[in-house]
Amino acid sequence: MIGNIAALAIVPVAGVAGIIFGLLFKGLDRVLGARMQARVGPPLLQPFIDVKKLLMKENIVPQNAVAWLFNAAPVAALCASIALLLYIPLFGSGALLEGSGDMVLVVYLLLLPSLAMVAGGFASGSHYATVGAQREMVAMLSYEFPLAIAVVSAAWLLASKAIAVQAFSLAALSAFPLWSLVGTLGFVGLAVLLAVLLFVMPGELGKAPFDVAEAETEIAGGVLAEYSGVNLALFYLADAVKSFAMAAIIVAIFLPWNATAMLSISDMWAGAAAGALFFLAKVFAVMFAGNTFMRIALARLRITQVVRVYWGYASAAALAGLLLIAAELVLVV
Protein backbone atom coordinates (compact mmCIF):
# COMPACT_ATOMS: atom_id res chain seq x y z
CA MET A 1 0.00 0.00 0.00
CA ILE A 2 2.81 2.39 0.95
CA GLY A 3 4.63 1.55 -2.28
CA ASN A 4 1.54 2.38 -4.35
CA ILE A 5 1.12 5.72 -2.56
CA ALA A 6 4.80 6.54 -3.14
CA ALA A 7 4.46 5.64 -6.82
CA LEU A 8 1.43 7.91 -7.20
CA ALA A 9 3.37 10.72 -5.52
CA ILE A 10 6.17 10.39 -8.07
CA VAL A 11 3.81 10.80 -11.06
CA PRO A 12 3.37 14.59 -10.70
CA VAL A 13 7.10 14.92 -9.98
CA ALA A 14 7.89 13.16 -13.27
CA GLY A 15 5.41 15.42 -15.07
CA VAL A 16 6.91 18.61 -13.60
CA ALA A 17 10.45 17.43 -14.40
CA GLY A 18 9.42 16.59 -17.97
CA ILE A 19 7.82 20.02 -18.44
CA ILE A 20 10.78 21.92 -16.98
CA PHE A 21 13.48 20.09 -18.92
CA GLY A 22 11.32 19.92 -22.05
CA LEU A 23 10.90 23.69 -22.05
CA LEU A 24 14.57 24.21 -21.18
CA PHE A 25 15.71 22.04 -24.09
CA LYS A 26 13.21 23.82 -26.35
CA GLY A 27 14.88 27.09 -25.34
CA LEU A 28 18.32 25.63 -26.07
CA ASP A 29 17.06 24.46 -29.45
CA ARG A 30 15.92 27.98 -30.35
CA VAL A 31 19.13 29.60 -29.09
CA LEU A 32 21.40 27.18 -30.95
CA GLY A 33 19.26 27.37 -34.08
CA ALA A 34 19.57 31.15 -34.06
CA ARG A 35 23.34 30.98 -33.60
CA MET A 36 23.66 28.50 -36.48
CA GLN A 37 21.81 31.01 -38.69
CA ALA A 38 23.91 33.96 -37.46
CA ARG A 39 20.92 35.47 -35.63
CA VAL A 40 20.64 36.81 -32.08
CA GLY A 41 17.59 34.71 -31.32
CA PRO A 42 15.38 34.62 -28.21
CA PRO A 43 16.61 34.22 -24.61
CA LEU A 44 17.06 30.74 -23.18
CA LEU A 45 13.93 31.00 -21.03
CA GLN A 46 11.69 32.21 -23.87
CA PRO A 47 9.55 28.99 -23.84
CA PHE A 48 8.71 29.59 -20.16
CA ILE A 49 7.76 33.18 -21.02
CA ASP A 50 5.60 31.97 -23.92
CA VAL A 51 3.72 29.51 -21.70
CA LYS A 52 3.16 32.16 -19.02
CA LYS A 53 1.82 34.58 -21.64
CA LEU A 54 -0.51 31.96 -23.15
CA LEU A 55 -1.90 30.99 -19.73
CA MET A 56 -2.88 34.62 -19.16
CA LYS A 57 -4.72 34.99 -22.49
CA GLU A 58 -8.36 34.28 -23.31
CA ASN A 59 -9.22 30.74 -24.33
CA ILE A 60 -11.33 31.15 -27.51
CA VAL A 61 -13.48 28.32 -28.86
CA PRO A 62 -14.70 28.74 -32.48
CA GLN A 63 -18.46 29.03 -32.87
CA ASN A 64 -18.74 26.03 -35.21
CA ALA A 65 -16.34 23.83 -33.24
CA VAL A 66 -17.19 20.63 -31.35
CA ALA A 67 -16.45 22.35 -28.04
CA TRP A 68 -15.94 19.35 -25.75
CA LEU A 69 -13.55 17.62 -28.16
CA PHE A 70 -11.80 20.88 -29.03
CA ASN A 71 -11.09 21.51 -25.31
CA ALA A 72 -10.30 17.88 -24.44
CA ALA A 73 -7.66 17.37 -27.17
CA PRO A 74 -4.87 19.49 -25.59
CA VAL A 75 -5.48 17.93 -22.18
CA ALA A 76 -5.24 14.43 -23.69
CA ALA A 77 -2.04 15.38 -25.54
CA LEU A 78 -0.32 16.60 -22.37
CA CYS A 79 -1.49 13.63 -20.28
CA ALA A 80 -0.25 11.14 -22.88
CA SER A 81 3.11 12.91 -23.09
CA ILE A 82 3.54 12.81 -19.32
CA ALA A 83 2.45 9.15 -19.23
CA LEU A 84 5.37 8.38 -21.56
CA LEU A 85 7.82 9.49 -18.87
CA LEU A 86 6.55 6.83 -16.46
CA TYR A 87 7.87 4.03 -18.70
CA ILE A 88 11.27 5.53 -19.60
CA PRO A 89 14.44 5.25 -17.47
CA LEU A 90 15.20 8.86 -16.53
CA PHE A 91 18.17 10.59 -14.90
CA GLY A 92 20.25 7.43 -14.63
CA SER A 93 17.61 5.47 -12.69
CA GLY A 94 14.91 2.95 -13.57
CA ALA A 95 11.45 3.71 -14.92
CA LEU A 96 8.56 4.11 -12.50
CA LEU A 97 6.31 1.60 -14.33
CA GLU A 98 8.85 -0.67 -15.99
CA GLY A 99 7.80 -4.15 -17.04
CA SER A 100 7.53 -6.70 -19.82
CA GLY A 101 6.41 -5.24 -23.12
CA ASP A 102 6.50 -1.62 -22.02
CA MET A 103 8.39 -0.69 -25.21
CA VAL A 104 5.30 -1.66 -27.23
CA LEU A 105 3.15 0.52 -24.97
CA VAL A 106 5.61 3.41 -25.37
CA VAL A 107 5.32 3.21 -29.18
CA TYR A 108 1.54 3.48 -28.87
CA LEU A 109 1.75 6.31 -26.33
CA LEU A 110 3.92 8.26 -28.78
CA LEU A 111 0.94 8.27 -31.15
CA LEU A 112 -1.58 9.69 -28.69
CA PRO A 113 -0.42 13.35 -28.67
CA SER A 114 -0.48 13.37 -32.47
CA LEU A 115 -3.92 11.75 -32.50
CA ALA A 116 -5.11 14.37 -30.01
CA MET A 117 -3.89 17.12 -32.36
CA VAL A 118 -5.73 15.45 -35.24
CA ALA A 119 -8.93 15.24 -33.20
CA GLY A 120 -8.59 18.86 -32.11
CA GLY A 121 -7.96 19.98 -35.69
CA PHE A 122 -11.05 18.24 -37.02
CA ALA A 123 -13.13 19.47 -34.05
CA SER A 124 -12.16 23.12 -34.61
CA GLY A 125 -14.27 23.47 -37.75
CA SER A 126 -11.48 25.34 -39.53
CA HIS A 127 -10.54 24.51 -43.11
CA TYR A 128 -6.87 25.17 -42.36
CA ALA A 129 -6.99 22.89 -39.30
CA THR A 130 -8.74 20.16 -41.29
CA VAL A 131 -6.00 20.18 -43.92
CA GLY A 132 -3.38 20.13 -41.16
CA ALA A 133 -5.10 17.20 -39.42
CA GLN A 134 -5.18 15.24 -42.68
CA ARG A 135 -1.49 15.89 -43.19
CA GLU A 136 -0.72 14.81 -39.62
CA MET A 137 -2.53 11.50 -40.17
CA VAL A 138 -0.56 10.83 -43.37
CA ALA A 139 2.71 11.70 -41.62
CA MET A 140 1.88 9.33 -38.75
CA LEU A 141 1.31 6.48 -41.17
CA SER A 142 4.69 7.26 -42.73
CA TYR A 143 7.10 7.52 -39.81
CA GLU A 144 5.63 4.73 -37.65
CA PHE A 145 6.93 1.98 -39.95
CA PRO A 146 10.68 2.80 -39.71
CA LEU A 147 10.21 3.51 -35.98
CA ALA A 148 8.69 0.07 -35.45
CA ILE A 149 11.49 -1.63 -37.44
CA ALA A 150 14.17 0.07 -35.33
CA VAL A 151 12.50 -0.86 -32.04
CA VAL A 152 11.82 -4.47 -33.08
CA SER A 153 15.40 -4.84 -34.34
CA ALA A 154 16.86 -3.73 -30.99
CA ALA A 155 14.56 -6.05 -29.02
CA TRP A 156 15.21 -8.97 -31.38
CA LEU A 157 18.98 -8.54 -31.01
CA LEU A 158 18.68 -8.63 -27.22
CA ALA A 159 16.44 -11.71 -27.32
CA SER A 160 18.75 -13.49 -29.81
CA LYS A 161 21.64 -13.14 -27.38
CA ALA A 162 19.48 -14.84 -24.72
CA ILE A 163 20.41 -12.12 -22.23
CA ALA A 164 17.00 -10.79 -21.26
CA VAL A 165 13.66 -12.57 -21.20
CA GLN A 166 11.80 -9.27 -21.39
CA ALA A 167 13.46 -8.05 -24.58
CA PHE A 168 10.69 -5.52 -25.27
CA SER A 169 11.30 -3.84 -21.93
CA LEU A 170 13.04 -0.47 -21.96
CA ALA A 171 14.62 -1.42 -18.63
CA ALA A 172 16.19 -4.50 -20.23
CA LEU A 173 17.37 -2.54 -23.27
CA SER A 174 18.93 0.12 -21.07
CA ALA A 175 20.58 -2.47 -18.80
CA PHE A 176 22.50 -4.19 -21.61
CA PRO A 177 24.22 -1.81 -24.09
CA LEU A 178 23.54 -3.25 -27.54
CA TRP A 179 26.89 -2.07 -28.90
CA SER A 180 28.73 -4.54 -26.67
CA LEU A 181 26.70 -7.47 -28.04
CA VAL A 182 27.70 -7.17 -31.71
CA GLY A 183 30.69 -7.29 -34.00
CA THR A 184 31.49 -5.16 -37.03
CA LEU A 185 28.38 -5.96 -39.09
CA GLY A 186 26.08 -5.59 -36.11
CA PHE A 187 27.78 -2.35 -35.10
CA VAL A 188 27.11 -0.88 -38.54
CA GLY A 189 23.53 -2.14 -38.38
CA LEU A 190 22.97 -0.49 -34.99
CA ALA A 191 24.50 2.75 -36.27
CA VAL A 192 22.05 2.70 -39.19
CA LEU A 193 19.11 2.08 -36.84
CA LEU A 194 20.23 4.94 -34.58
CA ALA A 195 20.43 7.24 -37.61
CA VAL A 196 16.91 6.15 -38.63
CA LEU A 197 15.50 6.98 -35.20
CA LEU A 198 17.20 10.38 -35.26
CA PHE A 199 15.60 10.94 -38.67
CA VAL A 200 12.20 9.79 -37.38
CA MET A 201 12.44 12.16 -34.42
CA PRO A 202 11.54 15.45 -36.21
CA GLY A 203 8.64 13.70 -37.95
CA GLU A 204 7.36 12.32 -34.66
CA LEU A 205 7.59 15.78 -33.12
CA GLY A 206 6.25 17.66 -36.14
CA LYS A 207 9.43 19.70 -36.58
CA ALA A 208 11.08 20.94 -39.76
CA PRO A 209 11.61 19.57 -42.33
CA PHE A 210 8.54 17.45 -41.48
CA ASP A 211 6.30 20.17 -40.00
CA VAL A 212 3.73 19.81 -42.77
CA ALA A 213 0.79 19.63 -40.33
CA GLU A 214 1.36 23.21 -39.14
CA ALA A 215 3.17 24.90 -42.06
CA GLU A 216 2.42 28.49 -41.04
CA THR A 217 3.26 29.90 -44.48
CA GLU A 218 0.92 27.45 -46.23
CA ILE A 219 -2.03 26.66 -43.96
CA ALA A 220 -1.75 29.35 -41.26
CA GLY A 221 -0.73 27.01 -38.46
CA GLY A 222 -2.76 24.00 -39.58
CA VAL A 223 -4.05 21.91 -36.67
CA LEU A 224 -3.31 24.73 -34.21
CA ALA A 225 -4.82 27.53 -36.31
CA GLU A 226 -7.85 28.01 -34.02
CA TYR A 227 -6.17 27.34 -30.67
CA SER A 228 -5.31 30.10 -28.21
CA GLY A 229 -4.86 30.74 -24.50
CA VAL A 230 -4.73 27.78 -22.14
CA ASN A 231 -5.50 25.22 -24.84
CA LEU A 232 -2.55 26.36 -26.96
CA ALA A 233 -0.34 26.41 -23.85
CA LEU A 234 -1.26 22.78 -23.14
CA PHE A 235 -0.32 21.75 -26.68
CA TYR A 236 2.93 23.70 -26.30
CA LEU A 237 3.72 21.87 -23.05
CA ALA A 238 2.78 18.51 -24.59
CA ASP A 239 5.22 19.16 -27.44
CA ALA A 240 8.00 20.03 -24.99
CA VAL A 241 7.41 16.92 -22.85
CA LYS A 242 7.12 14.63 -25.88
CA SER A 243 10.38 16.03 -27.31
CA PHE A 244 12.14 15.24 -24.03
CA ALA A 245 10.54 11.78 -23.87
CA MET A 246 11.44 10.90 -27.48
CA ALA A 247 15.08 11.81 -26.90
CA ALA A 248 15.07 9.82 -23.63
CA ILE A 249 13.74 6.74 -25.48
CA ILE A 250 16.61 6.90 -27.98
CA VAL A 251 19.05 7.31 -25.10
CA ALA A 252 17.58 4.29 -23.28
CA ILE A 253 17.91 2.05 -26.36
CA PHE A 254 21.19 3.17 -27.92
CA LEU A 255 23.05 5.25 -25.30
CA PRO A 256 22.23 3.59 -21.97
CA TRP A 257 25.60 3.99 -20.24
CA ASN A 258 25.52 5.25 -16.66
CA ALA A 259 28.08 7.75 -15.36
CA THR A 260 28.03 6.16 -11.88
CA ALA A 261 29.31 2.82 -13.19
CA MET A 262 31.70 4.39 -15.69
CA LEU A 263 33.33 6.64 -13.07
CA SER A 264 33.07 4.09 -10.21
CA ILE A 265 31.39 6.61 -7.91
CA SER A 266 30.70 5.07 -4.51
CA ASP A 267 28.86 7.96 -2.82
CA MET A 268 25.10 7.59 -3.38
CA TRP A 269 24.28 11.30 -3.78
CA ALA A 270 27.31 12.06 -5.93
CA GLY A 271 26.50 9.06 -8.11
CA ALA A 272 22.87 10.17 -8.50
CA ALA A 273 23.92 13.70 -9.44
CA ALA A 274 26.51 12.45 -11.95
CA GLY A 275 24.01 10.02 -13.46
CA ALA A 276 21.36 12.74 -13.83
CA LEU A 277 23.79 15.22 -15.43
CA PHE A 278 25.17 12.57 -17.80
CA PHE A 279 21.62 11.59 -18.79
CA LEU A 280 20.70 15.21 -19.53
CA ALA A 281 23.86 15.61 -21.61
CA LYS A 282 22.91 12.56 -23.70
CA VAL A 283 19.35 13.81 -24.14
CA PHE A 284 20.67 17.19 -25.26
CA ALA A 285 23.03 15.54 -27.79
CA VAL A 286 20.15 13.48 -29.23
CA MET A 287 17.83 16.48 -29.43
CA PHE A 288 20.51 18.55 -31.14
CA ALA A 289 21.26 15.83 -33.72
CA GLY A 290 17.67 14.78 -34.37
CA ASN A 291 15.92 18.12 -34.01
CA THR A 292 18.01 21.29 -34.07
CA PHE A 293 20.48 20.30 -36.78
CA MET A 294 17.84 18.91 -39.16
CA ARG A 295 15.53 21.87 -38.60
CA ILE A 296 18.25 24.31 -39.58
CA ALA A 297 19.90 22.26 -42.32
CA LEU A 298 16.79 21.20 -44.25
CA ALA A 299 13.83 23.10 -45.71
CA ARG A 300 10.23 21.96 -45.20
CA LEU A 301 9.19 19.03 -47.37
CA ARG A 302 5.87 18.59 -49.14
CA ILE A 303 3.54 15.96 -47.72
CA THR A 304 4.22 13.70 -50.71
CA GLN A 305 7.94 14.01 -50.04
CA VAL A 306 7.42 13.15 -46.37
CA VAL A 307 5.71 9.90 -47.35
CA ARG A 308 8.40 9.05 -49.88
CA VAL A 309 11.23 9.78 -47.44
CA TYR A 310 9.81 7.69 -44.58
CA TRP A 311 8.21 4.82 -46.52
CA GLY A 312 11.09 4.73 -48.99
CA TYR A 313 14.47 5.85 -47.71
CA ALA A 314 14.00 5.58 -43.92
CA SER A 315 12.22 2.21 -44.09
CA ALA A 316 14.84 0.84 -46.50
CA ALA A 317 17.62 2.02 -44.19
CA ALA A 318 15.92 0.45 -41.15
CA LEU A 319 15.50 -2.85 -42.99
CA ALA A 320 19.18 -2.70 -44.04
CA GLY A 321 20.18 -2.23 -40.40
CA LEU A 322 18.02 -5.20 -39.41
CA LEU A 323 19.54 -7.37 -42.15
CA LEU A 324 23.07 -6.46 -41.07
CA ILE A 325 22.31 -7.53 -37.52
CA ALA A 326 20.66 -10.74 -38.80
CA ALA A 327 23.64 -11.48 -41.05
CA GLU A 328 26.04 -11.22 -38.14
CA LEU A 329 23.90 -13.48 -35.95
CA VAL A 330 23.82 -16.08 -38.74
CA LEU A 331 27.59 -15.89 -39.25
CA VAL A 332 28.25 -16.22 -35.52
CA VAL A 333 26.03 -19.29 -35.34
Amino acid at 255: L
Can you give the pLDDT at residue 3? 41
Q: Residue 217's pLDDT band (boundaries 50, 70, 90)?
A: low
Q: Are 107 and 168 in contact (CB under 8 A)?
A: no
Range scoring the smallest mean pLDDT among 9-18, 276-285, 304-313: 9-18
Closest by CA to 144, choosing from 103, 167, 110, is 110
SS (H, E, C) 219-273: HCCHHHCCCCHHHHHHHHHHHHHHHHHHHHHHHHHHCCCCHHHHHCCCCHHHHHH
Can you give the pLDDT at residue 162? 63
Full domain range(s) for residue 21: 2-332
Residue range 199-213, pLDDT digits in tens: 999 888 888 787 777
Flag whether pLDDT at 237 surpasses 90.
yes
For residues 229 and 182, give the distance between their C-alpha atoms in angstroms, rounded to a whole number: 50
Range scoring the smallest mean pLDDT among 52-61, 129-138, 226-235, 279-288: 129-138
More confident residue, 307 or 166: 307
Can you give the pLDDT at residue 269? 73
Closest by CA to 204, choosing from 233, 246, 167, 162, is 246
Highest-confidence segment of 133-142, 267-276, 278-287: 278-287
Range scoring the smallest mean pLDDT among 94-103, 174-183, 242-251, 302-311: 94-103
* DSSP 8-class letter at 151: H
Can you give the pLDDT at residue 6? 44
More confident residue, 92 or 70: 70
**What is the overall mean pLDDT for the chain?**
84
Q: Residue 21's pLDDT band (boundaries 50, 70, 90)?
A: very high
| Mean pLDDT in residue range 281-301 | 87
* 11: number of Cβ within 10 Å: 15
Structural domain count, the chain: 1
Residue range 116-127, pLDDT digits in tens: 998 988 888 888
Can you give the pLDDT at residue 208? 75
Q: Are 212 and 139 in contact (CB under 8 A)?
A: yes
Flag whether pLDDT at 103 surpasses 70.
yes
Q: Are 127 and 204 in contact (CB under 8 A)?
A: no
Can you give the pLDDT at residue 49? 93
Flag whether pLDDT at 39 surpasses 60.
yes
φ, ψ at 45 (rounded to 5°): -90, 15
| Mean pLDDT in residue range 140-145 | 87
Is the pTM higher than 0.75?
yes
For residues 237 and 81, give the distance between their C-alpha atoms in angstroms, rounded to a whole number: 9
